[in-house]
Amino acid sequence: MKNANPVSRGAILAAIIGLGLAAAGCGASKPAADAPPKSVFDHFTIAVGGMPASLQFAILPAEQERGLMQRPDLGHDEGMLFISPRPQQQSFWMHNTPEALDIGYLTPDGAIAEIYALLPLDERTVLSHSHQLQFALEMPAGWFAAHGIHPGSKIDLAAVTAAVKARGFDPVKFHLQ
């Protein structure tokens, strides 16, 4: 028996082929992969006392141990933010660090509590007075003073939180929301 409507038969065949191709195409396309997390070498613009700074984030112990060692080329507004998982006393030294730096120790709410000068290659530790500090910010020598940043000035914690997420870490583990 012949089909009474050859056009319908062609339309059905075309629809079946079209659906098959569409289904095959759906299986072939993969969802866009998330961008890989940023690393310690990436810079994030973070306001410190209202002034923009280009900061690297030292989060892992190995990153914190290395810090800015052997970096003779730190830009004027570049620095490194060290993040502790909980408030504690901070202690830094300048082993293998050829450029003079200043360090600001910050409270969990992002307020600078203490600022100290760090001398090139000086292996004496610079210990904070407070035991309630969660962040340390190393910047080129004189940066804090040149920008009028002093104890009480704050870092933009919302931007810090976003950068921690971009690094692939859970901000809650650092008491950041």
From 112, 35, 36, 123, select the one nearest 79 (Cα to Cα).
112
SS3 61: helix
Which tokens in the block code for residue 175?
Answer: 């008491």
- Higher model confidence: residue 163 or residue 27? 163
Provide the pLDDT confidence category of residue 33 given band limits of 50, 70 and 90: low
E strand intervals along 12-77: 44-48, 51-58
Averaged pLDDT score across all residues of the chain: 86
Give the single-character DSSP code of 154. Answer: B
Among 13-17, 64-68, 124-128, 155-159, which stretch is predicted with the lowest mean pLDDT?
13-17
CATH class of the domain comprising 44-174: mainly beta
Specify whether the CB–CB gap between 119 and 95 falls below 8 A.
no
pLDDT (0 to 100) of residue 73: 83
Rounded to 5 degrees, what angle do the CA atoms 20, 21, 25 make?
A: 120
pLDDT (0 to 100) of residue 40: 86
Provide the pLDDT confidence category of residue 14 given band limits of 50, 70 and 90: very low
Distance between CA atoms of 16 and 176, rounded to whole angstroms? 54
pLDDT (0 to 100) of residue 115: 98
Distance between CA atoms of 175 and 47, rounded to whole angstroms? 19
Q: In the chain, where are the structural domains located?
A: 1-31, 44-174
pTM: 0.80
Mean pLDDT confidence for 161-167 = 96
